[in-house]
Amino acid sequence: MKLILSEQQLSITIRRLASQVLENNDSFSNTVIIGLQPRGIYVSDRLVNEIKKQLPGVAVQYGKLDITFYRDDIRKELHIANQTDIPFSLEGKKIVLVDDVLYTGRTIRAALDAILAFGRPENVELCVLIDRRFSRQFPIQPDYTGKAIDSIISQKVKVFWKEKDGKDEVALLE
């Protein structure tokens, strides 16, 4: 196991991502944040909390999206759905889509399909904690990247969260 981000580095990275999102979305009047279930919501929860710290008093519309039944690999195995919670329309909104690891791009492709069920957004930006470069199967690139890494197909990036795993860190598993 190789440590990619320690607890302190993870915290700093989320603060930086929040600052970058704020640079491009200063008022949040037409911007929403959507976290991808299941593991992207840990990043998005912290991102939203950090944005609220940096912009006190500003209302941030925040939703959580389950893409289970939009995936193209659903036929291969049984998946257990998570909950989608988007209590607002996405019509004409600027969306910041948040996930933990960008690998092949298939999850993001599915998320884009799922988003259209909630309205046609003005545009969609992608924010990821870890970008596994050189492994894309779709032409999808993040707008905001916590850390870009090079890895081989046999390696796995694991993001550990205190809420679920008892610790905050990102590791590369062989």
pLDDT band at 80 (very low <50, low <70, confident <90, very high): low
**Does the pLDDT of residue 174 top 90, yes or no?**
no
Give Cβ neighbours of residue 110 (< 8 Å, ≥ 6 apart).
67, 70, 71, 72
Give Cβ neighbours of residue 37 (< 8 Å, ≥ 6 apart).
64, 65, 66, 67, 68, 82, 83, 84
Read off the pLDDT of residues 6-56 as tens digits, 9 standing for 90 and up: 999 999 999 999 999 999 987 888 999 999 998 999 999 999 999 999 998
Q: What whole-number distance in Å separates Cα of residue 98 and Cα of residue 68?
A: 16
Q: Which two tokens stand for residue 154?
A: 């046999």
Residue 148 has a pLDDT of 97
Q: What whole-number distance in Å separates Cα of residue 52 and Cα of residue 54?
A: 5
> Domain holding 132: CATH number?
3.40.50.2020
Please give the DSSP secondary-structure letter assigned to residue 72.
Answer: T
Residue 152 has a pLDDT of 87
Read off the pLDDT of residues 108-147 as tens digits, 9 standing for 90 and up: 999 999 999 899 999 999 999 999 998 899 999 999 999 9
Query: pTM value?
Result: 0.93
**Does the pLDDT of residue 73 top 70, yes or no?**
no
Residue 76 has a pLDDT of 57
Residue 57 has a pLDDT of 86
Can you give the residue range of the structural domain that contains 136?
2-173
**Does the pLDDT of residue 70 top 90, yes or no?**
no
Q: Count the domains in the chain.
A: 1
